[in-house]
Structure 1
Amino acid sequence: MKYMLIMRATDEAYANMGELDFDKMLETVGAFNEELVRAGVLLAAEGLSDVSEGVVVDYSQEPPVVTDGPYGETKELFNGFYLLNVASIQEAVEWAKRMPMAGPGFKTEIRRVPTIDEFPQDNEWIQKERAWREANGQL
């Protein structure tokens, strides 16, 4: 079975992340990722861009309404995702508007997934992740 582990943080915890040493954070995450790879359980691991870069498609109305992200209420739970390779957020919105599970109570949050190229390439853990991705045909 496949499971997605979705990392969430309070606003305060998210704000405090800016105070962390970035290299130390990469080392910690890299070591964890390496453990997952060695155990043979890691299928994909991606971080999401800041919620301010996302949009929400709300199906409560026809046509669906698009607003800047993030979604507002914590009772709105994540229950799946599609990973699309498109040219722009607008193209992603157009696909989201066509989702088969649409209607009142359904929303799609759209966020850009940063590439490995956006991280410091001289970092040991980024180099290990790049090598792992290349070995698995993901680059």
Structure 2
Amino acid sequence: MRFMVIVKGDKDSESGVLPSKQLLTDMGKFNEELAKAGVMLAGEGLQPSSKGARVKFSGGQTSVIDGPFAETKELVAGFWLWKCKSLDEAIDWLKRAPFENTEVEIRQVFEAEDFGEAFTPELQEQEARIREQIGA
């Protein structure tokens, strides 16, 4: 099972406050543990929403809203992609993360078999080609 671990934004991350040397060191150690255990597939921190945009799709039209965005509790400051046996295992790993005063959400990623018959052999072949192209 794969899980996206979503680190929520806050006033500091939205203000562009960078992590301390100690937090970077601790996070590096945590990421090494995840990688050695075969759990971590990817992970990145994100710039503040002021350096981003939202694209809204409605009625066949698109509109672009430039950041920053007012509601920080809905923003993402970073993420990991983990491979774990269960949600409980992902939670156990996350409890070891060197966070203070942070909210983190864990969401299971859809796998091909989750889509049933709608995921036709042709779509499965396409998915396999794409994954090969991106090295996933």
Q: TM-score, normalised by structure 1?
A: 0.44
* Larger relative contact order (CA 8 Å, sep ≥ 6): 2
Q: TM-score, normalised by structure 2?
A: 0.44
